[in-house]
Amino acid sequence: MKASTRTREPLSRERILAAALRLVEQHGVEALSMRNLATELGVEAMSLYNHVANKDAVLDGITEVVLSRMDVPPPTSDWRHDARALGAAFRREALAHPRTAPLCLTRQLQSGPSLPLTETALDILRRAGFDAKGAVHALRALLAYLVGTLLRDVGAGPTFSGLDPAGMAERERVLVATGLPRVTESAAYLSVCRHEAEYGFGLELMIDALGQQLSPGYSKTPGSPSAPREP
């Protein structure tokens, strides 16, 4: 009998990270271990360490993979448009990987795809008119909003997301039953969160607030981070 000519694909960091991303998206971050990853790849666990240092390195790696897939839009002459477009690109890629998204949103990466994204965001804000320090403050404010909304959206159940009408009706009934006047009058709106609409509403508030800080004559409490300097 002829020996099989089929050869196994060589193990590599790229192949390991692809399998890890697949494992997380199928079963959640809690299912990721070096043993489970080795089983997914059909190799011995010890062979993984020739390509990745440990589980933390794998977590950083799959975060880098997701971020590297972002379709970063080219700059225009309108910083507001560019801020919206960059936020939309980040949000789109995160929502495409709902179980990996919390990693992308919370892990502190010091290299790889995260720094070019930081460069792009800071360039948008510098072109808007912020100085270097103000651009960092603005970036962190926008990032806090983006991360917060994404964590809410990927963690929301079908009732809160509007995909379960019966559940929404029950949630509204419970809210009305509290007897709290403001909660009762808003129960129909509190019972559901239309994620894209809420994200867009909040983002426009953030962009408008940043734009006001760049307007001539804008005043803040002296000594605050973005307060204009005295001439």
Flag whether 230 is in a domain.
Answer: no
Amino acid 158: pLDDT: 60
> Cα(138)–Cα(221) distance, rounded to whole angstroms?
17
Claim to verify: residue 23 and residue 50 sit in the same structural domain = yes
> Cα(135)–Cα(121) distance, rounded to whole angstroms?
9
pTM of the model: 0.80
Claim to verify: residue 112 and residue 138 sit in the same structural domain = yes
Claim to verify: residue 121 and residue 201 sit in the same structural domain = yes
CATH code: domain of residue 30? 1.10.10.60
Claim to verify: residue 177 and residue 204 sit in the same structural domain = yes
Listed in sequence order, the DSSP H helices in the chain are: 13-27, 34-41, 45-48, 55-68, 79-96, 101-106, 114-128, 132-155, 165-177, 181-185, 187-190, 195-213
> Is residue 13 predicted with pLDDT exceeding 50?
yes
> Is residue 227 predicted with pLDDT exceeding 60?
no
- Domains identified in the chain, total number: 2
Flag whether 44 is in a domain.
Answer: yes
Helix, strand or coil for residue 118? Answer: helix
The residue among 115 and 122 whose pLDDT is bigger is 122
Range of the domain at 179: 74-213
C-alpha distances (whole Å) from 106 to each of 60, 95, 102, 200 are 11, 15, 6, 22
Amino acid 57: pLDDT: 92
Flag whether 121 is in a domain.
Answer: yes
> Cα(159)–Cα(197) distance, rounded to whole angstroms?
17
Claim to verify: residue 62 and residue 80 sit in the same structural domain = no
Claim to verify: residue 116 and residue 194 sit in the same structural domain = yes
> Is residue 201 predicted with pLDDT exceeding 60?
yes
Spatial CA neighbour of 200 closest among 122, 118, 145: 145
For residue range 69-103, list pLDDT tens digits in order.
888 889 999 999 999 999 999 999 989 998 888 88
For residue range 139-185, list pLDDT tens digits in order.
999 999 998 998 888 876 665 666 788 888 999 999 999 999 999 99
In the block, which residue shows the tokens 């995260």?
114
**Average pLDDT, integer, range 44-71:** 92
